[in-house]
DNA sequence: ATTCTTTATCGTATTTTTGCGATAGAGAAG
DNA sequence: CTTCTCTATCGCAAAAATACGATAAAGAAT
């Protein structure tokens, strides 16, 4: 078997998990950093910075885009990606909310 | 092919990615919530709450423990798990740091 | 119009994750 | 000491993630 049972959980839990999964790879964190640095948000330079093949970087970009963490528009030879601050803020809030929820329920560790 | 190249990235990036991966599954988020609710931090009830087999829950607990997000001690028939607030705080700080880094570099989206 | 440059997608291989049933192991209860 | 209960681990299968090379596609440059 091994059918992923993600659909059996809360929408909130799934959303947060998806966000987390998007940044659950050092390459994608590195990509986010590069995107934030370049104000003109033209990439392709990302491939040069990362120790990965072009196709792999493109794949990671796609996943970040699917997760909603970045926006992107392709115009032939050059593409333009940049961080979707709104979604990122939402993620930050969702995680903060979880953290807060956990903490208010039980502040001290018992083992 | 397909050798994970995670070691090619910063330690910080790897750490944050590992933390993120730990919560990158709704089941593990749900487990954290249950652990926070029960003050006595006795589990096994987790299995009843979650729509997963006992062995699967045990596996998720193991991963959370490996990631350092929870502490656990097994004493024969009953085990005791609870949230490692210190590590969780560290994760929260690391993520907040990334978020801040990104934001100070580039505040506005361009696409 | 043809070539060049850049990026996305396809196909494929390998590794990792997810999940379950079955079994083992470790105290508690009798 | 034997049984009972709870948890961990093993073995396995299916799915997803990771990575790359090769190819396609879409403008730019000539």
The reply to whether B78 touches chain A by the CB within 8 Å rule is no
A3 touches strand C (CB under 7 A): yes
Q: Quote the longest CA-to-CA distance of chain B.
A: 58
Dist. CA A104–CA B6, nearest whole Å: 35
At B34-74, the pLDDT tens digits run 988 876 666 678 999 999 999 999 999 999 999 999 998 87
Percent of chain B with pLDDT over 70: 86
Quote the Cα angle for B50-B26-A6, to 5°.
Answer: 80
Instruction: State pTM to two decimals.
Output: 0.90
Q: Quote the longest CA-to-CA distance of chain A.
A: 58
A96, closest residue in chain B (CA to CA): B92
> Mean pLDDT, 10 residues at a time, over chain A (111 residues)?
74 95 97 82 80 95 95 81 89 87 66 62
* Enclosing H/E stretch for A71: strand A70-75
Contacts of B5 in chain A (CB under 8 A): 27, 51-52
At residue B12, does pLDDT exceed 60? Answer: yes
Query: CA of A55 and C1' of C12: distance in angstroms?
Result: 14
Query: CA of A78 and C1' of C4: distance in angstroms?
Result: 13
């Amino acid at each position: 078997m091994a059918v992923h049972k993600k659909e059996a959980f809360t929408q909130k839990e799934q959303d947060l998990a998806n966000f987390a999964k998007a940044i659950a790879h050092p390459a994608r964190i590195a990509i986010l950093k590069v995107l934030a640095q370049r104000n003109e948000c033209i990439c392709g330079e990302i491939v040069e910075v990362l120790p990965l093949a072009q196709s792999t970087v493109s794949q990671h970009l796609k996943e970040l885009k699917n997760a909603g963490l970045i926006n992107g528009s392709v115009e032939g030879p050059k593409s333009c990606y940049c961080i979707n601050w709104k979604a990122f803020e939402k993620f930050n809030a969702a995680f903060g909310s979880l953290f807060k929820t956990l903490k208010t329920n039980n502040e001290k560790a018992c083992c």
